[in-house]
Structure 1
Amino acid sequence: MLDLVEPYLPLILSGTLVTISVAILSLSGSLLIGLAGAFLSLAGNDFSRRIVTVYTTLIRGIPDLVLMLLFYFGGQMLLNNLGAATGLWDYVEISAFGAGIVTIAVIFGGYMVETFRGAALAIPKGQIEAGLAFGLSRRRLFTRIIWPQLLGYALPGIGNNWQILMKTTALVSVIGLQDMVFNSFQAGRATRHMFVFMGVAMCLYLVITMILGFVIHALTRRYSLDPAAR
């Protein structure tokens, strides 16, 4: 079996790097979306709260695969139709890498909004009022009181979303991005040993997920608000 897999290892490992890159960049985007959405939901006006509610409802109600295809094919069609109608640009081709990152970030941004929102609501209001009473600026109030507790409350939810996001990266293979799943599938089809190469992809996902689990556990212990959990 090793003789069968060895010639395709560089191809599979290059796909693994693409998968990890998509996961990290998507996670960064989803965290930014989640923080912004939570802020608008808690501190914004009624209009911004409704926008956030509609966004999270749509994201959680539409299958991830549908959104992936919609962003890649539908987004490209929309941009080209707008360009043709306005004459502002010529044909635009969206990269599978960029479309995959944006789609996954938007998908998990909806979940991160609720994660950060719940964490913010868990912070005792009395501490914020006390900080304002002592004359702390909004920046120092955020860095000294809000952010450490927000991170502590949100980390378990972020960890769960991160693990699921990592597995969701497999969807980018359906839009032609040469990630770990796509390259493993091509190797399996070329050798007619699909089970073997899908098994290799499965093992790589398990290894990556286990490493992520250790990282999440360490971060949770580091920033936990419960002294007994450290």
Structure 2
Amino acid sequence: MWLVETLGFGQTGWGGLLLIGALMTLCVTLTALLLGAILGAIVAAAKLSPNRAVRTAGGFYTTIFRGVPELLIIYLVYFGGSSAVTAIGAYFGVEGFLGMPSFIAGALAVGLICGAYQAEVYRGAFLAIPKGELEAAQAIGMHRFLRFRRIIMPQVLRLAIPGIGNVWQLSLKDSALVSVTGLADLMRTSQVAAGSTRQYFLFFIVGGCLYLILTSMSDRLFGFAERRASRSMPAGIGQI
């Protein structure tokens, strides 16, 4: 009975707060994935550029954000962003420390990391496009933007779906580190519930189960998207 009351949705239950924390985790991860998609596309284009300096800049980005620990990047974004916000506030006459919003800091930090991995996914997907298709499009006089819209982008998105699915799972787990900024995500809510009730094992197990539910649902969603995308591709392309 005590288990139902503790995990329930009543006044003394933590079920509602845990679900809100899970929703916050999804929001952070989704925002980070969208930000990472934009950054990843830009960095992938940079790494495929014929300009050596641009390629070097793209490689520098992916090396930094894939090589530095995720927690350190979150700390740098949160405290560095807070210092910047405080300095801007002081310029306009606002005294005291101004903290960067935890959601923005977390989504930005995870998005920067996510962008580095998505850049490699997009770059690999582009290199997997048969060169004959690009050469044929160029031979018939198709201009660059039209080639990108009709040939490059559709195939890159189809070929990148499995990789993006892996990046999503990685970002979903990395979002747990955002709890160090005070954001009430699933990890933070589990910690608060465990500390308040002294039921550490129970709430960390429940938190882990909720993460598994999120990742399992994500696997099914990306698997469905991959199967749908593969139906419109030639046999042997994008299929394992």
Q: 1:52-79 CA distances to partner (integer Å, 9 max, x unpaired)?
A: 1111111111100011111101222244
Deviation at 1:103, TM superposition (A): 0.3
Equivalences for 1:1-230 in 2 at 5 Å? 1-6=3-8, 7-43=13-49, 45-81=51-87, 84=90, 87=91, 90=94, 92-224=98-230, 225=233, 227=235, 229=239
Asked whether the equivalents of residues 82 and 100 of structure 2 are also in contact (C-alpha less than 8 Å), the reply is yes
Comparing 42-51 and 111-120, the one that deviates more = 42-51
In 2 relative to 1, CA 90–117 (structure 1 residues): closer, same or farther, beyond 3 Å?
farther
Q: Does the 8 Å CA contact 1:40/1:49 hold for their aligned counterparts?
A: yes
**What's the RMSD between the two structures over aligned residues?**
1.9
Calculate percent identity across the aligned residue pairs.
Answer: 38
Q: Report the number of matched residues.
A: 228
Secondary structure of the structure 2 residue equivalent to 1:60: helix
| Native 8 Å contact 2:40 2:115 kept in 1 | yes
The CA deviation string for residues 121-142 of structure 1, in whole angstroms up to 9 with x for no partner, is 1112221121122122333212
Contact 1:148 1:223 in 2 (8 A): no
Please give the alpha-carbon distance, in whole angstroms, between the structure 1 residues aligned to 2:41 and 2:203: 39
SS of the aligned residue for 1:40 comes to helix
Q: Which moved more, 1:131-140 or 1:208-217?
A: 131-140
Q: TM-score, normalised by structure 2?
A: 0.88
Which TM-score applies when normalising by structure 1? 0.92
Any conservation in 2 of the 1:31–1:112 contact (CA below 8 Å)?
A: yes
CA distance in 2, matches of 1:88, 1:56: 36
Give the secondary structure class of the aligned counterpart of 1:215: helix
Q: Which has the higher contact order (CA 8 A, sep 6+)?
A: 1
The answer to which structure has the higher helix fraction is 1
Superposition deviation, residue 206 in structure 1 = 0.7
Amino acid across the alignment from 2:36: S
**Offset at residue 83 of structure 1 (A):** 6.2
Segments of structure 1 that go 5 or more residues without pairing to the other structure are none
- Tell me the distance in 2 between the aligned counterparts of 1:88 and 1:188: 42
Paired with 2:126 and 2:235, the residues of 1 have a C-alpha distance of 20
Would the alpha carbon gap of residues 44 and 9 (structure 1) be closer, same or farther in structure 2, given more than 3 Å must change?
A: farther
